[in-house]
């Protein structure tokens, strides 16, 4: 209780009544007012100027004329390593007095505050400012402008594409503020805008003086697959890939490289001179002008295949001098194929000059001329009647084309394929790629044609059939089919005959049907047409024919051809019998 009373007494004590410093209350108030008047009037959240009064490793002491001094970390002055005592600096008053009575200020915040005001003024005025490139970032550089980190896009560094941003880091550069985002406090600057202003005037001077044929120095600005863009000093021109070199160019990188300086000639430009066509090869003499004057048709040349197409190949015999080898000049073969079957890009070939036009700068070449023409000695190699092996190349409706050798083709007419078979289309007889034996029938050297035969390799069996199936002879046959109201009858030795419907009537009045085997009389034999006309009806209606048939008529035989000959009133020779035996054996094999 005593302690409580003691504390209450201390609280109620009138300290101002004491005059320990020799001043009474009135005097002390006057002195306080005078002291306040000597201090600078400051407000929180404002920027004021102060003086550096002390610098330590960690802190910088700044006097702003207030009753206490501001203390700022040394790290806020890293941008200014030359800072010394007495220098004037800006600080931002954050708190006049904290709980310890200390003034809280920030130099960094002051710089940011003033910088933001300054950078907005620069945007409005278009003033050129200097900034420090701090580091590289994605798509550009970070620049310190008045203490603010601004973004310099890669596209705004220079008028030409920049490939290495690092060369700018650590350097001071001039900029223009081009954009500010107030909400996020982002600043975008441009160095390119300064250059463009200077180049615009240069560009006007260059464009006004452009003339076709004029030679200018330029710098390779960009390389594409179709050409090269050249900077002519603020004006861009294009060298198309075809104007880089007189020779073939697969890609412009084979000829030029980025930032390379070279002389170019103006080929053309539009009315506004915005599109300028440039040439590089035009500064060099045309290779055709340097072509050997002694080169003539018939000479042999060698070169490299640079372009190939279905119709032929272009061969470069010298830089910028090319000749075309048409596919028809690659082989003596008359079968046109693709040039890729003979050559490939990059091949080194030897050829013969076929045509040469120096004015038009055109040349045609041939490869086949390096080899003898097989038609020069065609009559000696393929004499009429000689036999050869050939390869089936292709068909037509009228025959088969076969190749005797490279460059020598012949035709087998459809009628010369077989003596016996009635062939509607050659594909029924053979296939492409088959090997066939042929005999030479006729040669037309002038038109490069050879007529061949296949059936001529054998004797014509119809010569023998004429002695067997003579008119009036009777033979046993089987109806195997009907066609056009006629019966198709299979006769001995694989021969077929035709029996008209009116001759199919049997003795009982009914008509013969398919698969019936009956006797048939030959009423017509046409060797040239390979045609045998038969009649079953005649075997019983014409009684006079029966004995003749049975006894072996003058031209006929029995149901068995061999027996008919043996029983014939006319004596058959041994040669006839041998021929029939050979024919029968051959036909049996074919069956």
pLDDT at 576: 42
pLDDT at 520: 93
Do residues 116 and 185 lie in contact, with contact meaning Cβ atoms separated by under 8 Å? yes
Angle between helices 461-468 and 574-590 (to 10 degrees): 120
Do residues 316 and 304 lie in contact, with contact meaning Cβ atoms separated by under 8 Å? yes
Q: What is the pTM of this model?
A: 0.42
**Residue 321, SS3?**
strand
275 sits in the region (left: phi over 0; alpha: psi -120 to 50; else beta) called: beta
Do residues 91 and 50 lie in contact, with contact meaning Cβ atoms separated by under 8 Å? yes
- Which domains does the chain carry? 38-107 (2.40.50.140), 126-195 (2.40.50.140), 209-283 (2.40.50.140), 287-370 (2.40.50.140), 374-457 (2.40.50.140), 461-590 (2.40.50.140)
Q: In 253-301, where does DSSP find H-type helix?
A: none
pLDDT at 162: 80
Is the dihedral angle over the CA atoms 506, 510, 513, 515 positive or is it negative?
negative
User: Which runs of E-coded beta strand occur in 468-581?
Assistant: 474-483, 486-490, 496-500, 517-526, 531-535
Stretch (H or E) spanning 173:
strand 172-181
pLDDT at 406: 80
Distance CA 388, CA 438 (A): 5
Q: How wide is the angle at C-alpha 554 spanned by C-alphas 552 and 560, nearest 5°?
A: 35
Regions of the chain where pLDDT drops below 50: 1-2, 7, 20, 35, 37-39, 543-580, 591
pLDDT at 228: 92
For 341, list phi and psi in degrees, rounded to 5. Answer: -70, -20
Q: What is the dihedral of CA 297, 300, 301, 307, to 10 degrees?
A: 80
Distance CA 490, CA 463 (A): 19
Please identify which residue in the block is written with the tokens 């289309």: 425
pLDDT at 278: 92
**Residue 117, SS3?**
helix
pLDDT at 554: 36
Nearest Cα to 438, choosing from 451, 449, 426?
451
């Amino acid at each position: 209780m005593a302690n409580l009373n003691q504390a209450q007494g201390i609280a109620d004590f009138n300290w101002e009544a004491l005059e320990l410093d020799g001043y009474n209350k009135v005097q002390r108030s006057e002195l306080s007012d005078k002291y306040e008047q000597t201090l600078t009037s400051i407000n929180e959240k404002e920027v004021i100027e102060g003086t550096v009064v002390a610098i330590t490793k960690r802190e910088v002491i700044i006097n702003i004329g207030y009753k206490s001094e501001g203390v700022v970390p040394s790290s806020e002055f890293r941008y200014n390593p030359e800072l010394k005592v007495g220098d004037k600096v800006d600080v931002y008053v954050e708190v006049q007095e904290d709980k310890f009575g200390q003034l809280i200020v920030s130099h960094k915040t002051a710089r940011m505050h003033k910088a933001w005001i300054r950078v907005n003024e620069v945007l409005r005025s278009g003033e050129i400012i200097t900034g420090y490139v701090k580091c590289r970032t994605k798509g550009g550089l970070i620049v310190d402008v008045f203490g603010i980190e601004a973004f310099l896009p890669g596209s705004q560094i220079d008028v030409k594409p920049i490939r290495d941003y690092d060369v700018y880091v650590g350097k001071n550069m001039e900029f223009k503020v081009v954009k500010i985002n107030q909400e996020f406090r982002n600043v975008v600057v441009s160095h390119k805008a300064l250059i463009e202003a200077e180049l615009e005037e240069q560009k006007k001077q260059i464009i006004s003086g452009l003339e076709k044929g004029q030679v200018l120095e330029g710098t390779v600005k960009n390389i594409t697959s179709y050409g090269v863009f050249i900077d002519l000093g603020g004006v861009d021109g294009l060298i198309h890939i075809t104007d880089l070199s007189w020779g073939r160019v697969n890609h412009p990188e084979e000829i030029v490289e980025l930032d390379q300086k070279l002389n170019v000639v103006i080929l053309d430009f539009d009315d506004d001179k915005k599109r300028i066509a440039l040439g590089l090869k035009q500064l060099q003499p045309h290779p055709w002008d340097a072509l050997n004057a002694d080169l003539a048709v018939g000479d042999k040349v060698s070169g490299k295949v640079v372009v190939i197409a279905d119709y032929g190949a272009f061969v470069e015999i010298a830089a910028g001098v090319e000749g075309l080898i048409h596919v028809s000049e690659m082989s003596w073969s008359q079968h046109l194929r693709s040039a890729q079957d003979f050559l490939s890009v990059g091949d080194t070939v030897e050829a013969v000059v076929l045509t040469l036009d120096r004015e038009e700068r055109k040349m045609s070449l041939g490869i086949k001329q390096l080899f003898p023409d097989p038609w020069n000695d065609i009559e000696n190699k393929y004499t009429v009647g000689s036999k050869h092996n050939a390869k089936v190349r292709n068909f037509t409706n009228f025959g088969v084309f076969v190749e005797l050798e490279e460059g020598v083709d012949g035709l087998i007419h459809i009628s010369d394929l077989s003596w016996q078979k009635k062939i509607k289309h050659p594909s029924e007889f053979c296939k492409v790629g088959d090997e066939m034996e042929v005999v030479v029938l006729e040669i037309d050297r002038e038109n490069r044609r050879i007529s061949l035969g296949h059936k001529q390799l054998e004797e014509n069996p119809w010569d023998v059939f004429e002695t067997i199936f003579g008119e009036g002879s009777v033979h046993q046959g089987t109806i195997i089919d009907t066609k056009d109201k006629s019966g198709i009858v299979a006769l001995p030795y694989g021969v077929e005959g035709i029996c008209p419907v009116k001759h199919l009537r049997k003795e009982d009045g009914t008509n013969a049907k398919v698969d019936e085997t009956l006797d048939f009389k030959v009423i017509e034999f046409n060797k040239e047409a390979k045609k045998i006309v038969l009649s079953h009806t005649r075997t019983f209606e014409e009684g006079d024919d029966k004995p003749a048939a049975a006894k072996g008529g003058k031209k006929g035989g029995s149901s068995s051809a061999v027996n008919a000959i043996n029983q014939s009133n006319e004596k058959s020779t041994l040669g006839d019998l041998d021929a029939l035996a050979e024919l029968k054996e051959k036909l049996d094999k074919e069956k």
